[in-house]
Structure 1
């Protein structure tokens, strides 16, 4: 399964000048919503990810994702693993469980995202689950942005990765894009203006 080709075929591999949530700039952006809008494709991707996780020997009780981007990927992964699914939401800048969701003491989890960049949001959710008595065994994502080491792929870990060293990350593919500080961005130097992904339909 070639995740890069799938993103391109779905129009989810965007090229332009993007302002990332980290404040940095990039010429490329992965818009996972364009992939996950096709339920059969989302199901097949999750099944492939679940197979990778299962073959590793990891078995969990539940999957938890950060809202909103990770919800569809996490839900489909939970279905493929035949487990429960919940999601965390950011309230006043802090991740919380709402909507009656709870964590049982000792309940094991995988934290699932659509895309893992540095893993900051996933780590926040993991800390939340652990604080409520759960036990996070691993992390998962449809795609990895190249900062964190993926258990089932041959890539290296960068210093900016925030995920813990003792918990594996599973992913269907690894994307490595150049990311620039706003003050040292060649795209800005060429007169282009960075846009937030989704705020403009012209990505060419």
Structure 2
């Protein structure tokens, strides 16, 4: 699946939004990707998850973990494709944790998944929770890497789309300077 084909699917399913957005990282951007829109369409989301899973099929993945809530379905679909267990991390008193009885056995090979990476913050939090539980993170799979490949997580990162997007600190944002209000369409308010 080519990057252009993936972007066509993201446009068709309403994932790509244009305007002035405040990202989870606190930075600002002129477009946003709302992947919850994609997950409404299993016939579109499934092949994208399968394509990401295929990038790790030779790695012996035993567990797939994504952050709640945005990557729960993604983790499940990629785990299904790889024949692995699916779990999700969630914040407990502000700290990403594996809860609900999820257990990773010492040394199990874990793939961490996320819909979009800009700074890698959420992925790092999940990686820390996995490592604390005894798992060995062997890589990260993302639909879109907004960093242009600059995020370093210490493990291989594979994505369907790599973009070098401009993000701004709020005080340096040209859209703020124009008086255009920034919105936060995601699930976490920062």
Q: Does the pair score TM above 0.5?
A: yes
Residue among 36, 44, 47 paired with 2:47: 44
For residue 178 of structure 1, what is the aligned residue in structure 2? 166
Deviations 1:58-114 (A, max 9, x none): 121110111111111111100111111011101111011111111112211000111
Q: Which residue of structure 1 lines up, in the alignment, with residue 133 of structure 2?
A: 132
Unaligned runs of 5+ in 2: none
| Residue correspondence of structure 1 range 1-204 to structure 2 within 5 A | 1=1, 2-54=5-57, 57-147=58-148, 149=149, 157=150, 161-164=151-154, 167-197=155-185
Structure 1: stretches of 5+ with no match in the other structure: 150-156, 200-204
| Count of residue correspondences | 184
CA RMSD, 1 decimal: 1.5
**Is the 8 Å Cα contact of residues 13 and 37 (structure 2) preserved in structure 1?**
yes
- Give the Cα separation in 1 of the matches to 2:62 and 2:10: 30
Structure 1 residue 128 displacement after superposition: 1.5
The aligned residue for residue 154 of structure 1 is none
Distance in 1, matches of 2:96 and 2:41, equals: 28
Determine if contact 2:14/2:37 at 8 Å carries over to the other structure.
yes
How far did residue 198 of structure 1 move? 5.0
Cα distance in 2 for partners of 1:17, 1:168 equals 31
Separation (CA, whole Å) in 2 of partners of 1:26 and 1:143: 15
> With structure 2 as the length reference, what TM-score do the two structures score?
0.91
Q: Is the 8 A contact 1:123 1:162 kept in 2?
A: no
Work out whether residues 88 and 95 of structure 1, in 8 Å CA contact, stay in contact via their aligned partners in 2.
yes
